[in-house]
Amino acid sequence: MDEEEIKRRIIFGDSAGYGKPPEQNRFKKGQSGNPKGRPRKASSELSLTDQPMLSAVLAVANKTVPVRDGGEMTEMSMLEAVVAATAACAVKGNARSQATFIGLAQKAQEAEVLERHRSIERWTAYKRTWSTQIADAKKMR
């Protein structure tokens, strides 16, 4: 190798080295370096049969407990009692309870709006279906 060849390789980077793998080992244009991609995240869908702990939690959450509400005793589910206690602490000024309760309230409102939209869509589809059937029946007369 003469001096010109060495200069050319240094200037134009034809030689392999750190950060410059040999040409045959470089990624081809349009080919991914990770063809299989990142593995999917584990499914977050849980069923009660797969998760016995969940069914135990639900059993306890739905159990009724006596709760003092003002001056009288009432019964409510454990879950309702915890939410009521969180709300009571939030009203008293507990910042963590306020953040928790506001987050729960927002999720509940979002779920309510989503359910309302689904209901409207169902009834709209129902009306459309029956309107066309009624119109067809009138034409058949």
CB atoms within 10 A of CB 101: 18
pLDDT for 16: 63
Residue 81 has pLDDT above 90, yes or no: yes
- What's the pLDDT score for residue 130? 95
Among 102, 73, 106, smallest CA distance to 89 is for: 102
Direct distance between the N- and C-terminal alpha carbons of the chain, in angstroms, rounded to an integer = 98
- On the question of pLDDT at 112 being above 80, the answer is yes
Which sign, positive or negative, has the C-alpha torsion 86, 91, 97, 99? positive
pLDDT band of 13, cuts 50, 70, 90? low
In the chain, % of residues over pLDDT 90:
53
pTM over cut 0.95 = no
